[in-house]
Amino acid sequence: MIYSAKVMEHFANPRNVGELADANGIGEIGNAKCGDIMKIYLKIENDTIVDCSFKTFGCGAAIATSSMATELIKGKPLDEALKLTNKAVVEALDGLPPVKIHCSVLAEQAIKAAIADYYTRLGIDPTPIVGVIDNDHDHHDIGCGCDLDD
């Protein structure tokens, strides 16, 4: 598999890694069977993401997409962060191999899950704002490129 220089850079030197102690929005998305599990931590003030971090268990592409996604939303208002698509993450990384696109989808969904958690903590139903979070990532029927496909 060939990865772009940006994917390799974000894998080797990921940004925003670790648990955020004062996070007020936490989202976890993943598939334990495959091994790609992302947890996004958000610190939100005045409807703006002032800080964010991640912990990801998975392949290099999963780590790189988590790193890039947090970079793309840091400092952004929530409504802008909610517009982040997996396609934007892939483009920011100068592409991903087709079997690794699901990693960018996990990053997008984990951010939405963290924002949904923030609204839930405020007593606000997140569904009308965030939409439905897709945490059913049993993608082995399409082949995700992880060890279980071998």
Tell me the backbone φ, ψ of residue 88, rounded to 5 degrees: -65, -35
Q: How far apart are the C-alpha atoms of 13 and 79, rounded to whole Å?
A: 28
Q: How far apart are the C-alpha atoms of 69 and 86, rounded to whole Å?
A: 9
Catalytic choice (52, 103, 144, 146): 103
Annotation says 146 is catalytic: no
Q: Do residues 139 and 105 lie in contact, with contact meaning Cβ atoms separated by under 8 Å?
A: no
Q: How far apart are the C-alpha atoms of 39 and 66, rounded to whole Å?
A: 9
Half-sphere exposure of 128 (CA within 13 A, CB side): 2
Catalytic choice (34, 52, 59, 146): 34
Annotation says 59 is catalytic: no
Which residues does the annotation mark as catalytic? 34, 103
